[in-house]
Amino acid sequence: MNRLKLATVWLGGCSGCHMSFLDLDEWLIDLAQQVDIVYTPFADIKEYPQGVDVVLVEGAIANEEHLEMIQKVRERSQILISFGDCAVTGNVTALRNPLGSAEPVLQRCYIEAADMYGQIPQAPGIVPPLLDKVQPVHKLVPVDIYLPGCPPSATRIRTVLESLLRGEKPELEGREFIKFG
């Protein structure tokens, strides 16, 4: 039997969804017996692989690095799960959107709030260039499953993964499974 290739990705968010994933506690041992984890921020894997069966994507798309990554993830993954409220709606990450562009955020953080020698970092590799608008995942690539919550509970995550392991599409119904926040 082929094992499911599972990935998790962390974009513009707080890592709370990944912390909730770790709250699966001992069920993680059962999960590890059924899947191959092929990419995750929990491991030092440099390149997102081809042929991923299921990916949990945490966070919104806030910079050019995120944009490049989400396109690669979508291209190389069969089932993409928008993992948590930032990925589903933009949530807290998108609070800068009313400012109109990335420039006011950069000015405030790196010039106005600087203790001394304020300058906006622009050298390649220091800070990925911000996009003018933070976007939820589905605005840029097709999403197969939405898993709301800030963060989604371990119970929600397990319900989705157990369904997929059985070869079924998850049915998230009722307040416990579809509530935001």
DSSP per position, 104-159: HHHIIIIIIT-SSS-----STTTSPPEEEEEE-GGGTS--SEEE-SSSPPHHHHHH
Listed by start position, the domains of the chain span 4-98+132-178
| CATH of segment(s) 4-98+132-178 | 3.40.50.700
Predicted pLDDT of residue 177: 58
Sign of CA dihedral 7, 69, 178, 142: negative
Mean pLDDT by 10 residues, the chain (181 residues): 91 96 96 96 94 98 97 98 97 93 89 89 83 97 95 95 94 66 62
- Residue 171: the pLDDT is 81
Residue that the structure tokens 């800030």 belong to: 150
Note the pLDDT of residue 69.
98
Structure tokens at 30: 């059962």
* Predicted local distance difference test score (pLDDT) of residue 123: 78
The confidence score (pLDDT) of residue 2 equals 78
pTM: 0.91
**The predicted structure's pLDDT at residue 143:** 97
Phi, psi of 40 (to 5 degrees): -175, 155
Q: What is the pLDDT of residue 122?
A: 79
